[in-house]
């Protein structure tokens, strides 16, 4: 899936899909200390991780708004 496709998916997602994406985002943030243990903090520089985080954040904002 291309990054643009992910953003389009979020824009057209149903309430149930937005809720699932929001849950996924919270779950990933809760696990981050467990799975991201490298000293280089690659999650801060990786474009894919940034894009996924942005899409999940967008889903949460759409759900709240």
Mean pLDDT of 8-34: 84
pLDDT reading at 36 higher than 70: no
Judged against a pLDDT cut of 70, whether residue 18 lies above it is answered with yes
Residue 12 has what pLDDT?
Answer: 92
The dihedral through the CA atoms of 63, 22, 30, 5 has a sign that is: negative
H helices present in the chain, as ranges:
3-11, 15-35, 47-64
Asked whether the whole model's pTM tops 0.85, one would answer no
pLDDT (0 to 100) of residue 13: 92
**Most confidently predicted of 18-27, 33-42, 45-54:** 18-27
């Amino acid at each position: 899936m291309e990054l643009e496709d992910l953003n389009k998916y979020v824009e057209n997602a149903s309430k149930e899909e937005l809720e699932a994406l929001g849950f996924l985002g919270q779950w990933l943030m809760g696990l981050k200390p467990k799975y991201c243990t490298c000293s280089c903090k690659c999650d801060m520089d990786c474009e894919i991780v940034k894009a996924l985080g942005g899409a999940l954040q967008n889903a949460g904002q759409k759900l709240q708004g």
